[in-house]
């Protein structure tokens, strides 16, 4: 008997993507919609996510937008309680405030941890609780980074948050596996997005980054789309507690 390839289709499944108004989040939402998922795009900017959702609907996707600040745990919990469970969560909302270690202040530390760790943790918890209460399986994708596996100058806080995401993802996977809920991280290298564009105005920084990329180019949002579909779908049904590296070989020699 010839085995059949597991389906990459997501028809009938609901997906929530945070930080979905632009960049990686929008790419993830587009990828999931293209394979049949009903996608809710969440971000702080109502206009941005509504416009993105409308654009996806124009090309045949099932998409809607919601203005949601994931750092506001009470508002997020209230909204999640009011909507049907999500089979897929792409925990993409994130931030960075690069600074030398010796100059990093507590306000920046707290801000980056609130978005990258606290909000990621509790959003995953809320989504998982609803799935468990309804006896449904699911896939949680925590967007991490190559910086969750290495260190870098001026990114002490960011690296700390992404190492935390890697650790908590493994622990989530250990607890949620018996409920059929898989939890993995997606670990991109530097991707050209509105958030990262200002960094590359610094010629020396761009040169240093390019020297680490074995494929000789920065990533694009399109580079993450197939990986998101893979992690969300039955094609990765035996994968949990793992990190999927999209780092152009950065960590292979670091």
Residues marked active site are found at 158, 162
Residue 86 backbone phi and psi in degrees, to 5: -105, 130
8, HSE (Cβ side, Cα atoms, 13 Å): 12
Query: Which tokens go with 226?
Result: 């197939």
Angle, helices 222-232/23-34, rounded to nearest 10 degrees: 50
CA 14 – CA 66 distance, rounded (Å): 14
Between CA 73 and CA 155 the distance in angstroms is: 26
The answer to whether 186 touches 230, Cβ cutoff 8 Å, is: no
Q: Which residues contact 203 (CB under 8 A, 6 or more apart)?
A: none
Comparing CA positions, the residue from 89, 189, 86, 194 lying closest to residue 144 is 189
Q: Is 14 helix (H, G, I), strand (E, B) or coil?
A: strand
CA-CA distance, 16 to 45, in Å (whole number)?
16
Helices (H), the chain: 23-34, 46-58, 73-82, 106-113, 120-133, 156-176, 203-212, 222-232
């Amino acid at each position: 008997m010839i085995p059949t390839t597991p389906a990459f289709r997501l028809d009938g499944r609901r997906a929530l993507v945070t930080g979905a108004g632009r960049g990686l989040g929008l790419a993830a939402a587009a990828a999931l919609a293209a394979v049949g998922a009903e996608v809710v795009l969440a971000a702080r900017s109502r206009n941005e996510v509504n416009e993105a959702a409308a654009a996806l609907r124009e090309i045949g996707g099932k998409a809607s937008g919601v203005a949601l600040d994931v750092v506001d745990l009470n508002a997020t919990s209230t909204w999640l309680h009011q909507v049907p469970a999500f089979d897929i969560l792409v925990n993409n909302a994130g931030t960075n405030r690069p600074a030398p270690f010796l100059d990093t202040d507590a306000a920046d530390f707290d801000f980056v941890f609130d978005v990258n760790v606290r909000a990621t943790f509790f959003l995953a918890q809320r989504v998982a609780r609803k799935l468990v209460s309804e006896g449904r399986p699911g896939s949680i994708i925590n967007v991490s980074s190559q910086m969750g596996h290495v260190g870098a100058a001026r990114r002490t806080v960011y690296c700390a948050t992404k190492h935390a995401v890697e650790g908590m993802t493994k622990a989530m996977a250990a607890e949620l596996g018996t409920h059929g809920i898989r939890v993995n991280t997606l670990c991109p290298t530097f991707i050209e997005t509105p958030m990262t564009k200002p960094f590359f105005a610094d010629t020396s920084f761009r040169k240093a980054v390019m020297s680490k990329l074995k494929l000789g180019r920065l990533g694009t949002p399109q580079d993450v789309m197939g990986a998101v579909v893979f992690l969300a779908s039955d094609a990765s049904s035996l994968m949990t507690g793992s990190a999927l590296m999209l780092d152009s070989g950065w960590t292979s020699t670091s």
